[in-house]
Amino acid sequence: MVSQADKSNGKKSTPQNSGAKKAGRGKGDTRRVAGAMLAAITRGKTLDEARDRLSDLPDSERNLADAMVQMALRHYGEINALTAKHLKRALPLRPHIAHGLLCIGVAQLVYMKVPAHAAIHETVAATGRREQPFRGLINAVLRQIERDIQADGPPAPAPLENLPEWMQARFEAAYGADALAAMATQHTQTPPLDLGFKSPEKAAAFAAAQATAEQLNDTHVRLLRSGDVRALDGFKQGDWFVQDVAAGYPAKLLHAALARVEKSDTPATVLDLCAAPGGKTLQLAAAGYEVTALDISASRLARVKENLKRTNLKANLVKADALDWQSPKQFDAVLLDAPCSASGTMRRHPDLVLNRHEGYIAKLAGFQKQLLTRATDWVKPGGFLCYAVCSLDPEEGEAQAKAFLETREDFRIVSPQNLSDLPVHLCQDNAFRSTPADHPLANHRYAGEVEKGGMDGFFAQVFQKISA
């Protein structure tokens, strides 16, 4: 065990005194930026907000810094358990970034297989004046972990340690211990790239031309290995947009419901509530519907506009608060992808496990109820309402839908069973439910094939407004 008093009183052990560059080489140092990003996240920032610090780095170093942070987030619990073995007490989170730098160093050593001399030397050298009291301690802990790896090999994976106890308890109660373990494992993996295509024909052609592609359904293709998204075939042509396969199923459910009703000469009208970043808007527009996309955020709607332009699709964009907006008309269908804890996307947003808490779910559930009630006003008699959340917690999904039906006799469930292109094993109890442990191909769980990736956790259910 290493104490602060053990922090290398012998001057030879620190990079600063062994001919290295001056410690704390400035805001442009890759590891220092990564440590600062992680420190900001542990203090409540999101990963996207913390990425503002990447602007301090040259383009060539930004991806490395981001990868370090994401790896540290994916193994945050394991890293803290590992460092605790060598510390008398944990490093404080404020006001410096010493704890962040230590975690970044461990992430390099254990999970990124960065050569020890580079991982330790560069991380310790990234300490600055504010971290001066902890520089030797960071060096000592990292070197001890290096020695442990050399003697005993890498530490055994313990993915459950990366999820907070309250989250483990809720997910195990909902899905069982095996599913929880599989979801925790997926959280430690960098997810593959899923693409949603404007047409089945374009999806099939793309999948056939890519050696590492897996076609997941008629419009979604998975790339197990990818580089720059903008360099992929079809990007400039607007053939596809980035969208996790699970995120595509709410719109597919709505499309399947609309296909059941008699066709008219004019396209069906669809309202996409809380629409940004716009994947479902693009899906619905590509299907030929007249789409109105509403979101409260102007900046997020700007992204929707950009993607509509790139894909040559059309939608009416409305900036408004859904609780206050007054629509001049009703719609054939309304899709509400409600704000939620987003726990279903933790494999793509590993910061979520640090900045979510149990009380956050109850607060959001109340807001979701308000939005769901408000959305009913915009559904035509005989029209459809799809409620969706990218949450793994039943309080935001299944329980919300059940409570809605119990209070709304003017709506009934639309069964998703036996509908084309929908994974039957994920459409139980008249709803769609996916978890990171699942895969859209029938009855396929990636318990032993984590490298192929799972899917985001989504709940979606479609209701029909009973005609007067």
Which residues are annotated as catalytic?
390
Order of all β-strands in the sheet with 213-215 = 213-215, 220-223, 193-197, 240-242
Query: Please, are residues 253 and 284 in contact by the beta-carbon 8 Å criterion?
Result: no
Amino acid (1-letter code) at residue 39: A
Rounded CA separation 109/252 (Å): 43
Burial 10-25 (b: 16+ CB within 10 A, else e): eeeebbbeeeeeebbb
Rounded CA separation 204/197 (Å): 9
Rounded CA separation 463/298 (Å): 30
Rounded CA separation 232/240 (Å): 10
Query: Please, are residues 282 and 308 in contact by the beta-carbon 8 Å criterion?
Result: yes
Instruction: Tell me how far CA of residue 110 lies from CA of 66, 79, 103, 145, 419, in angstroms.
Output: 17, 9, 10, 9, 46
Rounded CA separation 468/466 (Å): 6
* 464 strand-pairing partners: 384, 412
* Residue 238 phi, psi dihedral angles, 5° rounding: 75, 30
> Pairing state of beta strands 269-273 and 290-295?
parallel
Q: Dig out the tokens for 32 from the structure.
A: 């220092």
